[in-house]
Structure formats: C-alpha cells, structure tokens
Amino acid sequence: MSWQEYMSYEPLNVKERPAAALAVTVESDIDRVSALLSGIKGGWQQAAGSALARAANAGKTEAKKAVTEQYALSASEFVNRTKNVNHFNRSSDGEITVSFGYRGSVIPLTRFDTSIDRSGRVVTRVMKTSTKKALDHAFSAKMGSHIGVYERIGTSRFPVKELYGPSTPQMIGTNESVADQVEDKMAEVYEKRIEHEITRILNGWGV
C-alpha cells in the first residue's frame, strides 16, 4: 500500500490521540482455571494475569520483527509505542472471558523515514517498499519540546495539524498474515503458560 493510505492527521491541540487495538479472546479455559483455583483467593486472576503477560510479550516480539521488516520504523520505537492490555469479563450467566492484546496511538511522521530535502521540502515514507514522497504543503517545526511535521488548516498561519503514520496495532492488523501469526503465537504461549501457573499456585510456589 502507498504511504497516503496510512497517513493520519490530528489537530495540534488534541492531547489524547486515537488508539487502535488488536486482541485475542480466550473463553473455553477460564472456567476450568477458576474452578481449579477456587480455593485460593485471587488464584485464577493471578494465574491468568501471569500467563497473559508472557503471551503478550511473546506476541510483541513476533510482531516487532514482522512490522520492522515492512515499515520504516525502528524496533525500539515499535516497543515503546506498543502497550499490552488485558481484560477480564464476566457475563450475566457467570461465564468468564479474557481478552488480551495491544494498544497504541498513531505515531508522529517524524518517527518514520522523514527528512528535509535541499529545497526545504519534507520528504517521507512509512513503508520500506515505498519511495520517498515530497509533501509540498508540509513543514517541520518545533512546538514546545516536540519536533513534528505539520500542515496549516486554511490560509492563515494558525491553526495547524500534525501529520502521523499508523499506530502499531494498525500496522499489525492491516496485514492479515502478520495478524494471524501474532494472534496464534499469543494463544500458543498463553495455553502453555497457564498450565505452569496453575501448578505453581496449587503448590504454593512463589505465592
């Protein structure tokens, strides 16, 4: 896809930028875990929480490699911009489900392969497979302590909008094979780790 398909625009005065999430839901096993650890206060939550953390980190490692192969974004930037999220939900009939995945806000265009050419124009690419494109109406500026790429809204000097690339969950989700790979890895690690956590808590190891 071209860089234009990934470009995002946000007003300068918006403090909370929109986020995207990629999540895996585990349903069938939680009731069993809850029953096995019912005699231990907070036992199933502790077991599931530890397993979720391992699964999310494994998925993030898998995603980092795939995303940085395709996008002009550093591995450290990917890690810093990707947050793990876990949710426990109980339905009206008592069924417990667990969802886990990642959140991340859109990333400033300056964090991708962006530079200023000799004529003073901003040139950039978001995808490694794309060639750099000149943004004729954009400019680089320092606003407070942040350096970004901006465009004016209308003909006046202000207001302006900062230009962004996609969030890391969007980078994962737009590629079905990568999303499936990451979700499979997360589910695989969770299923393996939850058994270890059940045994650990039942035996009082580290509790």
Tens of pLDDT, residue by residue, the chain (207 residues): 233 333 443 333 333 344 555 666 666 577 889 899 999 998 988 998 899 889 889 999 999 999 999 999 999 999 999 998 877 777 776 666 667 788 899 999 999 999 998 888 999 999 999 999 999 889 999 998 999 999 998 888 889 999 999 999 999 888 888 888 888 898 899 889 999 999 999 998 865
What does DSSP assign to residue 127? B
3-state SS, residue 61? helix
Residues 204, 49: contact at Cβ < 8 Å?
A: no
How far CA 202 is from CA of 44, 46, 77, 90, 129, in Å, comes to 10, 12, 39, 23, 51
Around Cβ 24, how many Cβ atoms within 10 Å? 19
Q: What is the Cα–Cα distance from 182 to 166, expressed in whole angstroms? A: 18
> Which tokens sit at 134?
């000149």
Q: Which of 70, 81, 46, 83 is nearest to 202 (CA)?
A: 46
Q: Which amino acid does the sequence have at 203?
A: N
